[in-house]
Structure 1
């Protein structure tokens, strides 16, 4: 072959490569563009240290703003007015987390298919049918009436857009290049969507349909046994010593309660085990310094970038530090010179499902209160990348949007329709609560701020430099008769409608209790003598009781003691259940290896530590044992049923050796508790062997815990997998799988406030930045950084290497 021919072939091949690399592949960008040395992903690599002074000229500011970045890249924003403060916050957060902000807003608005493609269509459809955009629009209507908060939201949006407008395609965040997208304008509605998305994350759990099915299938006594009766070890958030000095106005229940037919409702947004949080505050009477100490660690899905972003905001009337949500102005969890606050989720029943009777197939009218009422139709246009737009019509009753469900038993049966009454559909101005908390000086300011927070209901813990500690189970709670909404409600009967709201001063709260501390861990809100019904489905008692046990016996408490408490891995469930399981095992049926593992469990101290093997065995064994009791009965029906909580299960199974469910209905023999314990123990060992190999170090809990921190869009290579971690969903350190402490914070509130914190990730959302994961290892090992809370502007130094001036 001549040199000319070789050259011609090379040129043709190069031309083909250039052509292929220049066309998009589905939702992906042209490969050539992605690998372009300037416009492609190479442009996202950070190759220089951020230090010195930079001045940026931006339209929209009223006066100059100075931003000092500390050695961990946390911005400390010094502004001369509120507008510029929130403008700068929007600008800086967008600089570090723009794609994260936008992706969350796309998700909350039911628009993921628009940027990703058909794979996200069902999620988008469910988001629209659950009324997420509808609820955000209602929130904007309320916020617009508050001149202060509307100005705050617009200033923040203007700051985000100022960053977007100055962004060239070459500097688009990496994910935009992967998806071949451009950022779009940020509007206040997107912030409202993000806040409603938190309501979906924290207040979308419901079991109405499952409880109805369970009652229909197993009877009312089963419901009372497993869901009405609470474990003896329950330790509520507001202790029993709290007296209620008000007359409760509780609606009357209907004479006969509605029990619908067995059907399976749509539940597309399930909450994973371990979603919860801890917070507590101890009085100065119990601390070494004499100052109150507050701690908070919200347990959420762990992602890269993190759900949180650290910031300090300083302007006339405000100096606050803490964790903020990308896309929302202000600090959500944090402190100022005078007070500190933190949140955990309240398991309040603020979502009810109503069985609807339509007049005919047109769904234009539905039956309620003895007459036919008109429905409303909301047309949802769902854009799908690479496909035609999908039109979805959602029917609304006065309860809310309607979802179609099907009978579990009859093929081709008539559909059943459920309408959703959900707190997320109500207009609210929740950001005003944080606006007030950021500026609070004392307990009265804290209480005033909380009046503006409706949903998702949160346990707001509080401490001040005046020595006060407090906790409010705070939110907007529907006034209900006992167990209203536990099962699917009768949509034709007005007695099942929400009957107003629990008065604010009647919600559970406590200030400066005699025991010297307040705490919450998503457990029961109050003791049984609290007159209002909030829910029957709270977190198991384990974390809450462990926190209270520790605080009750601790004295001369230091910040370091509280930091160690946050890392506590003790399993109360192990203490309650394991000794009985070991007692029930028929040891003469175990082989030598099984006996070795059995003996290992007898010596376990109930701590879920990474280096231990016993937690792995217990976790697997307890799951197998639970399934051996319930699975045969629960799988005998295609209907979705509600499973009992593990803490109540441990209590019943220990006290009732002849409970009928212990026997496996699918076999001829009569299984005993000992048989089930022994068989499930063997099964657990087989399960671990299949998954992790022969018994040995690879069974250590740090491997089995399966602690993964994925990229928020699940882009491969941008997350961190298999972190060797301690903790468990039932421990204070509630690390488990992809969920865990998303922000650990400890604050001592005194003459000089001292704060400490960490989250798993880093300030930058850019995978090409050294600041993308630089907090990850300290978080894994339990280290907390001292938070640099400034009362005045610093000098450039090693601690504050970068100053950015916005003009």
Structure 2
């Protein structure tokens, strides 16, 4: 018995030692929010106050010291995210996740983002203030890499930490630029539909501009006194496997003083980005004697993409302009190393790349390039067809000055200085929203735009050999859509169609008018906006379009064939105001019917694979309202039933019956149980959370969430046939900047400030976010010092 007791005591001691070891190890992985750290190269002490949500407020004697401290604290919270983001453009995801990411790496290497980054860095003025500060930021990041704790993800994947360089910053910006584009998801698919089904099927799709929808109006004023071309499948599959979020859409509006209660400008912005953990933005407040900014940084970004101070505020949405074109090339039959141009044969450029693969041998492949860009077919095995298709992308073709632009935007003190930075953004296309303390409001569509020949549709794969489908000219920035201090006293963007300039519409992949229609309705209805009412507007979950579609289609139902419960629910839908609440049943029935109607309309012609691709495009989002109101059209007929031609009425009746039965199968016959909270949920996925045993530790959620697709509170999802709508895109932050009380402006992040799962700020905003709450963006130094629970002091060594 004594021996047994001794053995048990020894075992207990060992367990205790292991537990202590695990505890100490975990504690060592947490970010340092308190204490003192020697930071190389700074000239004076830098004080970093972390508020209740882990947001650093950096106070320094000069901007270079502040930016170096930013690099350190950014890395300690987001190094894993930085690592993944820089790996996308370099084709180095397979090195982390194995062979499953090889095709994704091939695709991004073929785009040439990293090559463009290297070229951009070689052309930089190393003595410019933007580059000096970017280098200071990297020095802070790299000191953390050298001296700070290693994030748990590096241990789990076996990765070695390596220093960051300037081209890593550019790679992150390049990925953002590509993520904003939609042509790669759309043009080849539309071309394929046209080739397989015919032009009539394209005519009945919402491909081009619709003059009946809500457009963003232009206005200029001075400052106020105060083929077998099945390449789409490979693109979709490559992008779907990305372990970092993609940029999708956004809302923003800026209200002029004459429409606010206080007579001061209010800016609202909520960029829509794919949900992931950690969330996209890192929130930072920097203050020096000559510079102050409260901003939102991308992983690895030294300058904020969204920001405000006491004089200027700005936000972003996606422009959705068409900046990617596909060209059908002709290879010389006598010499396969050449392709045809209007001036004769030219040589293909051959670029060989190598991909390192975890637990496997490296893979080498060669990309062919023409004057238009890389050939995208046969780069990845999913991309079919031997016909050479080149992708022309404005981002890699023009000189890259985006870093300078972002620096200048973040350092502008007035409207003129701010506008002066924007022509340097050639891609991605952005709607830049602006407001200031002097009362100015403005919107600019920023991108390098170009005019194509009148007869050319850039929504289709074009002729690369004749020279007839080349740009006619590049437009000066002054010709871009914009509105500065318009007489209607607000500017806005919801990724919808901008109005023309000089009688010309810019081609793009604009989202439907749904959100724009609601934003304009609400802004027009009031002239006494304040911070509270604006924050309620950014949470608005009412669709003006969906009830109108119900009213149109419900007339087609034969009520004599409906049972009593169906009649009750149809009547409820008829009286629905388009509002989405967690306890509502109208949204559940509406979307179930919409999915079956879409499926019964398009699946027979497109087949499973192309149908999945189609419902992932912006064309599909525009098609819902456009197509449902077409009383006749070629898509209504089911081509699989050879003995009859289906009508819209028959498709509506069939879809309602199938939707009803599927809801009964899922939730039972009591329609009062078909509430939105049971089908509409949000989970923030971490790449390592894909391992089921680690999901609950790394992922955040799931939560039932309010909102839906294409309302202001745009909690979007892609139909997958299950009837359960897992939100994959939505507000990446909600910001309300009020110049009447700048120190009480409000914001929220979807999960938390830190990407470190051991940090208390990993998910401390997640429930607030789904509940529609906000927190203060603190800028008052005395308030920050008195209320910050922790302080980190960097001192020079």
Q: Do both share a fold (TM > 0.5)?
A: yes
Q: Distance in 2 between matches of 1:224 and 1:534?
A: 19
1:663 has 2:637 as partner: yes
State which of 779, 783, 799 in structure 1 corresponds to 2:769.
779
Map 1:135-154 onto structure 2 (within 5 A): 135-144=116-125, 147-154=128-135
Alignment of 1:713-724 (within 5 A): 713-715=688-690, 716-717=695-696, 718-724=698-704
In structure 2, what is the Cα distance between the partners aligned to 1:731 and 1:795? 35
User: Does the aligned pair in 2 maintain the 1:68–1:77 contact within 8 Å?
Assistant: yes
Q: Secondary structure of the residue that 1:303 maps to in structure 2?
A: coil
Whether 1:572 and 2:534 are equivalent positions in the alignment is no
User: CA distance change for structure 1 residues 541 and 165 in 2, over 3 Å: closer, same or farther?
Assistant: same
Matched, 1:804 2:796: no
Query: Which residue of structure 1 lines up, in the alignment, with residue 684 of structure 2?
Result: 709
Distance 1:297 1:801, change over 3 A: same
Q: What is the CA-CA distance between 1:119 and the residue it aligns to?
A: 1.7
| 2:657 match | 682
Among 496, 519, 525, the residue aligned to 1:547: 519
Indicate conservation of the 8 Å contact 1:796/1:803, yes or no. no
| Contact 1:350-1:423 within 8 A present in 2 as well | yes
Aligned: 1:507 with 2:496 = no
Within a 5 Å distance, the mapping from 1:750-769 to structure 2 comes to 750=740, 752=742, 754-769=744-759
Aligned-partner Cα distance in 1 for 2:603–2:353: 40
Q: For the residues of structure 1 that align with 2:470 and 2:23, how far apart are their CA atoms?
A: 54
Aligned-pair CA distance for 1:555: 1.4
The CA distance in 1 between the partners of 2:685 and 2:610, in whole Å, is 33
CA contact (8 A) 1:324 1:330 kept: yes
Q: Which residue of 1 is the match for residue 305 of structure 2?
A: 332
Alignment correspondent of 2:114:
133
Which range is displaced more, 720-729 or 732-741? Answer: 720-729
Would the aligned equivalents of 2:265 and 2:436 in 1 still touch at CA under 8 Å?
yes
Is 2:327 aligned against 1:354? yes
Q: 1:350 to 1:37 in 2, by over 3 A?
A: farther
**In the alignment, what sits opposite 1:430?**
402
Residue correspondence of structure 1 range 359-370 to structure 2 within 5 A:
359=332, 363-370=336-343
Distance 1:502-1:595 versus aligned 2 partners, 3 A rule: same
Alignment of 1:235-250 (within 5 A): 235-239=214-218
Gapped regions of structure 2 (runs ≥ 5): 222-226, 717-726
Q: What residue is the counterpart of 1:189 in the other structure?
A: 167
Kept in 1: contact 2:179–2:248 (CA 8 A): no
Question: SS at 2:786's partner residue?
Answer: coil
In structure 2, distance between residues paired with 1:693 and 1:104: 45
Summarize the Cα distance change of 1:779–1:621 in structure 2 as closer, same or farther, 3 Å threshold. same
Q: Are 1:172 and 1:182, in contact at CA under 8 Å, matched by a contact in 2? A: no
Cα-to-partner distance string for 1:531-589 (whole Å, 9 max, x where unaligned) = 44532431011001110111011111111111011111112331221112221111222
Contact in 2 for aligned 1:263/1:639 (Cα 8 Å): no
The answer as to 2:96 corresponding to 1:115 is: yes
TM alignment of 1:354-433, pairs within 5 A = 354-359=327-332, 363-404=336-377, 415-426=386-397, 427-433=399-405
* Cα displacement (A) at 1:310: 0.8
Structure 1 residue 734 and structure 2 residue 714: aligned? yes
Closer/same/farther in 2, CA of residues 764 and 117 from structure 1, 3 Å limit: same
Q: In structure 2, do the counterparts of structure 1 residues 224 and 60 end up closer, same or farther at CA, with 3 Å as the change threshold?
A: same
Whole-angstrom CA distance in 2 between matches of 1:744 and 1:760: 9
Moved more, 371-380 or 590-599: 590-599
Counterpart for residue 176 of structure 1: 154
Which of 175, 188, 201 pairs up with 1:209? 188
Aligned length: 758
Partner of 1:267: 235
Contact in 1 for aligned 2:82/2:299 (Cα 8 Å): yes
Residue number among 44, 49, 54 corresponding to 1:68 in the alignment: 49
1:530 and 1:701 mapped to 2: Cα distance? 46
> Residue deviations 1:711-760, cap 9 Å, x none?
14444221123311111121000013121100100001248554210011
Give 1:675 shift: 2.3
**How far 1:489 sits from its partner (Å)?**
1.4
CA distance in 2, matches of 1:675, 1:42: 67
**Contact conserved, 1:575 with 1:606, CA < 8 A, in 2?**
yes
Go from structure 1 to structure 2 and tell me whether the alpha carbon gap of 1:699 and 1:748 turns closer, same or farther (over 3 Å shift): same
Tell me the distance in 1 between the aligned counterparts of 2:631 and 2:451. Answer: 40
Match of residue 317 from structure 2: 344
User: Given the two structures, how large is their TM-score scaled by the length of structure 1?
Assistant: 0.87
Structure 2 Cα separation of the partners of residues 638 and 575 of structure 1: 29
Deviation at 1:798, TM superposition (A): 3.1
* C-alpha spacing 1:270/1:586, structure 2 compared with 1 (3 Å): farther
Residues in 2 aligned to 1:39 and 1:414: alpha-carbon distance in whole angstroms: 57
**Equivalent position to 1:78, from 59, 63, 75:** 59
Mapped contact 2:75–2:141 kept (Cα < 8 A) = yes
**Separation in structure 1 between the aligned mates of residue 574 and residue 744 of structure 2, nearest angstrom:** 42
Cα distance in 2, alignment partners of residues 49 and 160 from structure 1? 13
2:419 alignment partner, one of 447, 456, 459: 447
Cα drift, residue 332 of structure 1: 1.3
Q: 1:274 to 1:614 in 2, by over 3 A?
A: farther
Counterpart CA distance in 1 for 2:534 and 2:68 is: 36
Distance 1:142 1:703, change over 3 A: farther
State the distance in 2 between where 1:604 and 1:453 align: 43
Q: Report matched runs for 1:571-650 at 5 Å.
A: 571-635=543-607, 644-650=619-625
Q: CA deviation at 1:700?
A: 1.6
CA distance in 1, matches of 2:653, 2:24: 57
* Contact 1:317–1:439 under 8 Å retained in 2: no
Q: 1:227 to 1:47 in 2, by over 3 A?
A: closer
**C-alpha distance in 2, partners of 1:637/1:723?**
30
> Compared with structure 1, are the counterparts of its residues 157 and 692 closer, same or farther at alpha carbon in structure 2 (3 Å cutoff)?
farther
1:147-166 to 2 correspondence within 5 Å? 147-166=128-147
Structure with the bigger percentage of helix: 2
In structure 2, how many angstroms separate the alpha carbons of the residues matched to 1:434 and 1:89? 16
1:306 aligns with 2:274: no
Deviations 1:382-405 (A, max 9, x none): 011111111111112221111226
For 2:318 and 2:650, locate their aligned partners in 1 and report how far apart those are by CA, in whole Å.
39
Q: Give the unaligned 5+ runs of structure 1.
A: 19-31, 244-259
Compared with structure 1, are the counterparts of its residues 744 and 459 closer, same or farther at alpha carbon in structure 2 (3 Å cutoff)?
same
Q: Residues 694 and 132 from structure 1, CA distance in 2 versus in 1: closer, same or farther, beyond 3 angstroms?
A: farther
Q: Aligned pair in 2 of structure 1 residues 726, 361: CA closer, same or farther (>3 Å)?
A: farther
Distance 1:659 1:490, change over 3 A: closer
TM normalised by structure 2 equals 0.88
Matched, 1:561 2:533: yes
Instruction: Summarize the Cα distance change of 1:454–1:560 in structure 2 as closer, same or farther, 3 Å threshold.
Output: same
Give 3-state SS (helix, strand or coil) of 1:275's partner: strand
Secondary structure of 1:797's aligned partner: helix
Q: The residue matched to 1:624 in structure 2 has which SS? A: helix
- The two structures, once aligned, show a CA RMSD in angstroms of 3.4
Decide whether aligned partners of structure 1 residues 594 and 492 sit closer, same or farther in structure 2, where only a CA change above 3 A counts.
same
Cα deviations across residues 413-439 of structure 1 (Å, max 9, x unaligned)? 971111111123144121222222222
Higher mean C-alpha deviation, range 302-311 or range 277-286: 302-311
